[in-house]
Chains A and B, each alone.
Chain A
Amino acid sequence: NAGVTQTPKFQVLKTGQSMTLQCAQDMNHEYMSWYRQDPGMGLRLIHYSVGAGITDQGEVPNGYNVSRSTTEDFPLRLLSAAPSQTSVYFCASSYGAYNEQFFGPGTRLTVL
């Protein structure tokens, strides 16, 4: 099993550009989520999904969109990148929100 995979590992964007961070899991987990990690802030929940076709907002959803068309995939879209979105992004999956979260390796995003 590959577990949770994320692509790309690194990305540099210019302000105003859009992009999609990819996340996939092969553990048949219903729950998937996106976090951003900033120095001194821990990990903050951006969006989450409890199953295909169901998504909801976390603590810091502004500027990000998600969709969940399959159990396996949960992409995160930045519509118009801003320097404040410079961060490390982690995708996670689990059987439920209160189970152990399995994390991907992270994507380091820089917005200039």
Chain B
Amino acid sequence: AQKVTQAQTEISVVEKEDVTLDCVYETRDTTYYLFWYKQPPSGELVFLIRRNSFDEQNEISGRYSWNFQKSTSSFNFTITASQVVDSAVYFCALSEYNFNKFYFGSGTKLNVKP
């Protein structure tokens, strides 16, 4: 079974639209960490956020916000007023405290059109 599911394979929006990228995870560990990474067309992986399982507060960083809900095992990512530079593949990832492994979702490709 997939540990991290990103059901949206590709999303296209027009600049200035808001967009939410979904992430659902699966774990039996009570302590775990969730991450989002961005992979622009140039190919490098850029860290966006890390959240631990005990901190359910939503986080906002500029145009980016994250909604963590343990009840639904989701860690969704919203970009407000999207820009062309946001075009990239976005990965959600999970790390469980009692194991030394990092699991990535399959990624969501975001296309922001001018």
Q: Is the CB of B45 within 8 A of A97?
A: no
9-residue interface stretch from B55-63, B75-83, B94-102? B94-102
Residues of B within 8 A of A (CB): 4, 6, 9, 32-33, 35, 43-45, 47, 50, 52, 91, 95-97, 99-107
Known: A41-B106, A45-B102, A90-B45. 17 other contacts (CB 8 A): A33-B102, A40-B9, A42-B105, A59-B103, A88-B43, A92-B45, A96-B100, A97-B95, A97-B101, A98-B95, A98-B97, A100-B47, A100-B50, A101-B45, A101-B47, A102-B47, A106-B43
Q: What residues of A have a CB within 8 angstroms of the CB of B107 in the complex?
A: 42
Residue pairs across A and B with CB atoms within 8 Å: the count is: 58
Q: What residues of B have a CB within 8 angstroms of the CB of A102 in the complex?
A: 47
A52 to chain B, nearest CB (A): 15
Residues of A within 8 A of B (CB): 31, 33, 35, 40-45, 48, 50, 56, 58-59, 88, 90, 92, 96-103, 105-106
Q: What residues of A have a CB within 8 angstroms of the CB of B99 in the complex?
A: 97
Known: A40-B106, A105-B44. A97 touches B9 (CB 8 A): no
Pick from A42, A45, A97, A100 the residue with the most CB of B within 10 Å.
A42
